[in-house]
A and B are shown apart, each in its own frame.
Chain A
Amino acid sequence: MRLWHLFSLAFRYFFLHLRHYLFLFAALSFGFAVISTLTSVQEGMEQNLYSVSQAHYSGDIIMVGESNRRYKVIYNADEILSILENSSMEYEKTILRTQLNGGTLHYNGTALDMKYVFGVDWQEERDIFESMSYTSRTDDPYTPGSIMISSPVAEQLQARVGDLLTLEVRTLEGQVNTMSLVVSALVEDRSLFGYFKCYISRDDLNNLAQFPADAVSNIGLYLNSNQESGAVREELYGLLSSEMDVAPLFEDRKGLYRARWDKWQGTRLFLVPLSVYLSEVDLLLKAISMVSYCLYALMVLIITVSVAVTFRLVLHEREREIGTMRAIAFHQSEIVVQLMFETLILFIFSLGFGLVLSRFVVTLASFVDYSFIPSFEIFLENGKLTAVYTVSSFLANAGIVFLAVLPAVLFPVIMAAKRPLAGLLSGGSK
């Protein structure tokens, strides 16, 4: 009951002293806005990177068939899928792809080497392709004999939708083979993953590269959002290693390379988590994180100092009031509680306003195209920054700011509450 009265008093005092709290409110709101923007944009960048990578590598865990052949091949994809389906393992879906690292597109005399040629099941991956952005496309680009290329490639070839390209590749045995394909879509993808890659149907690519009809290069496993990749990978390893040659699990690129140095007969299956492929950009991610953390720490410091200085002034102006309260009814601890309640109310309002300010800033920032920054495209969605606001990030940021503000407020409040009563009532500190 006393606590409720103290809170009620604190609420009224907050609005009475709003003028005094305005600077604090501005400092806290601005600081929280900056922090929220930093974390949400960073999360957005990581999410964009993950989404782009997931679509590029086709899954959260990618089963890759390695042998001494020119390309990666899994000959027993049906067997693997059957094992998965008959197990109790949970996952969202599997994606089969054939992949060639290399190939040349020819159009009107211009030849452009590709980094990747993907053979996909158009219908199985329809939702992935529907989520991509296109410069132009046919109504149904998912037909045999069609090819999707990225817009930078199209620009260099001077090709458009409907044009007939020749795709030249080496077969599994190393022979030159070609196929004519109709451009069905130009993908607006200028990222590191997007350049110099093209998509054709898996049947077409298997035919072109002389893969067995049911062979694939990799099987991508998409997990449910609440699943942890490490645990699923271990479960997968347990399921498959008893039936076929599966490489020991590894956690990073170095581990993958070490596993590849091993000698084996035939095809060995590698279970590669997406994080291993993403470790290529790990250094860039770490650099971005470092900058972000430095700005974050700086902002927290600014908030702490602003609050500490301003709050002392606010308390100084309210000394007589504090003295009266202590004289007539309040214990020292109750003074502290009431003032802390006022701070809490200020904090909550500041968080709310800061969050709104952050969203406003992010919305403004999203009008700019940042793809001119080299290597930055992989963190963007169609060239724009996106922000992801999660409850956990909000709580973490609020917690950190609270912990930073708490000593800045609590210490002066305790000092003010403990001052000699005579001095407080006389209007000066003694």
Chain B
Amino acid sequence: MSIIKLSKLEKIYPLGKLEVAALKGVDLEINKGDFVSVAGPSGSGKTTMMNIIGLIDTPTRGEICIEGKNAGTLRRAELTRLRHETIGFIFQSFNLLPVLSVIENVELPLVLGRLKMKKNERREWVEHLLQEVGLEDRINHKPSELSGGQQQRVAIARALAAKPQIVIADEPTANLDSVTGERILNLMKQVNKDEGTTFIFSSHDPSIWKIADHTIFLRDGIIESETRQ
């Protein structure tokens, strides 16, 4: 059953008097529990499509449905709530909040989110996540005291904290060495398998596409091909 459905999705950016079409009519269905990689050269529209799926950006034309809800019909606050409740984000540059410790960074979506949890339950859940990502002995460290790989693992734990249905990861291994990057991907795969969370990540690296169930190839704003394993 599809958790994400894109229909005739178009995204056009005005550039002065010109218009640049980043997406030119994309139709796509992603099933629940899929481990999806989005591939394509620079300028293919990967980031644009990821942003629209992540409800960070809105399409110029077309439709996007998340869990059966048409995002185009939602008001801004409802869209924000849907994003917070349904989608977790892993950024290329980790984007951890520098003033918070590791455990506080991971806890943040739960503290400010609508997921009802008692404080001790929340603590337990966050510590479990950090244990899963192998950072149980770094919980009180600040992000500036961690390596890149450690920071990305914190980001993964943060993305999973609110138990989202979907996790969007934009070039999650781009700033990591190959060994660390592989470890991160394996971790994501493990979570996908254990929790059934749908993962959508973009990457330039062809070797990474291999571990995905569903690979989408984008070029010039359209889907060139799709493969499923």
Interface residues of A (CB under 8 A from B): 2, 5, 9, 12-13, 15-16, 320-321, 324-332, 334, 420-422, 425-426
Interface of chain B residues 76 through 111 with chain A (CB within 8 A): 76-77, 80, 83-84, 88-89, 91, 93, 95, 97-100, 108-109, 111
The answer to whether A329 touches B56 (Cβ under 8 A) is: no
Contact of B80 among A12, A331, A425 (CB under 8 A): A331
Other-chain residue from A13, A327, A334 in contact with B56 (beta carbon distance below 8 A) = A327
B112 near A330 with CB under 8 A, answer yes
B56 near A425: Cβ-Cβ < 8 Å: yes
Task: Annotate B108-126 by CB proximity to A: 1 below 8 A, 0 otherwise.
Answer: 1101110000000000000
Task: Contact check, A331 vs B97: say whether CB atoms are below 8 A apart.
Answer: no
Q: Sort A-B residue pairs by CB-CB distance and give the 3 closest, nearest first.
A: A12-B99, A324-B95, A422-B57
- Distance of A9 Cα from B108 Cα, bound (Å): 10
Cross-chain contact of B57 among A324, A326, A328, A421 (Cβ < 8 A): A421
12 contacts between A and B (CB under 8 A): A5-B112, A9-B100, A15-B99, A328-B89, A328-B159, A329-B84, A329-B111, A329-B112, A329-B113, A332-B80, A425-B56, A425-B91
Residues of B within 8 A of A330 (CB): 112
Q: Which residues of A contact B80 (CB under 8 A)?
A: 326, 331-332
B88 contacts across to A, CB distance below 8 A: 328
Minimum distance in angstroms from B164 CB to a CB of chain A: 10
- Measured in the bound complex, the distance between the Cα atoms of B143 and A324 in whole Å is 15
| A contact residues around B95 at 8 Å (CB) | 320-321, 324, 425
Asked if residues A327 and B99 are in contact (CB atoms below 8 Å), the reply is no
**CB < 8 Å: which of B54, B77, B99, B113 contacts A13?**
B99
B192 at the A interface (CB under 8 A)? no
B24 at the interface (CB under 8 A from A): no
Closest to B98 in A: A16
**Contacts A320-B95, A321-B97 known; A328 to B77 CB distance under 8 Å?**
no
Among B51, B77, B91, B97, max chain A CB count under 10 A is at B97
The interface bits of chain B over 43-64 (1 if a CB of A lies within 8 angstroms of the residue's CB, else 0) are 0000100010010110000000
* Known A2-B112, A325-B97, A328-B89; further 7 A-B contacts with Cβ < 8 A: A12-B99, A12-B100, A328-B158, A329-B112, A331-B80, A420-B57, A421-B51
DSSP majority for the A interface? helix
Chain B: residues with CB nearer than 8 A to chain A?
A: 47, 51, 54, 56-57, 76-77, 80, 83-84, 88-89, 91, 93, 95, 97-100, 108-109, 111-113, 158-159
State in angstroms the CA–CA spacing of A129 and B99 once bound together. 62
A425 to B91, CA, bound (A): 9
Residue pair A327, B89 in contact (C-beta under 8 Å): yes
Question: Which residue of A is nearest B50, CB measured?
Answer: A422
Report how far A332 CA is from B47 CA in the complex, Å.
23
Asked whether A328 lies within 8 Å of B84 as measured between CB atoms, the reply is: yes
Question: Which B residues touch A320, using CB under 8 A?
Answer: 93, 95
Whether A421 contacts B112 in the complex (CB less than 8 A), given A12-B100, A13-B99, A325-B97, comes out as no
How many angstroms from the CA of A272 to the CA of B89 in the assembled complex? Answer: 77
- Residues of chain A contacted by B54 (CB below 8 angstroms): 327
Enumerate chain A residues within 8 angstroms of B111, measured Cβ to Cβ. Answer: 2, 5, 329
A326, A329, A420: which contacts B108 (Cβ < 8 A)? A329
A422 pairs with B112, CB closer than 8 A: no
Q: Which one of A16, A328, A334 lies within 8 Å of B99 (CB-CB)?
A: A16
Question: Chain B contacts of A324 at CB under 8 A?
Answer: 89, 91, 95, 97
C-alpha spacing A16/B96, complex, angstroms: 14
Q: A425–B56 Cα gap in the complex (Å)?
A: 9
Closest to B168 in A: A327
> Which residues on the A side are within 8 Å of B56 (C-beta)?
327, 421-422, 425
* CB within 8 Å for A422 and B77 given contacts A5-B112, A12-B99: no
With CB as the reference atom, state the residue of chain B lying closest to A1: B111
Distance of B20 from chain A, by nearest CB (Å): 12
Among A328, A421, A422, residue most surrounded by chain B Cβ atoms (within 10 Å): A328
What is the CA–CA distance of A348 and B84 in the complex, to the nearest angstrom?
33
For B158, the closest partner residue in chain A by CB is A328
Whether B83 lies near A327 (C-beta < 8 A) is yes
Report the separation of the CA atoms of residues A321 and B93 in the bound assembly, to the nearest whole angstrom.
Answer: 11
Residues of B within 8 A of A9 (CB): 97, 99-100
Q: Which residue of A lies closest to B99 (CB)?
A: A12
CB distance from B56 to the nearest CB of A (A): 4
**Set of chain A residues within 8 Å of B99, measured between Cβ atoms:** 9, 12-13, 15-16
Task: Name the distance in Å between A12's Cβ and chain B's nearest Cβ.
Answer: 4
Q: Which of A13, A329, A425 contacts B109 (CB under 8 A)?
A: A329
Distance A422 CA – B112 CA, assembled complex (angstroms): 21
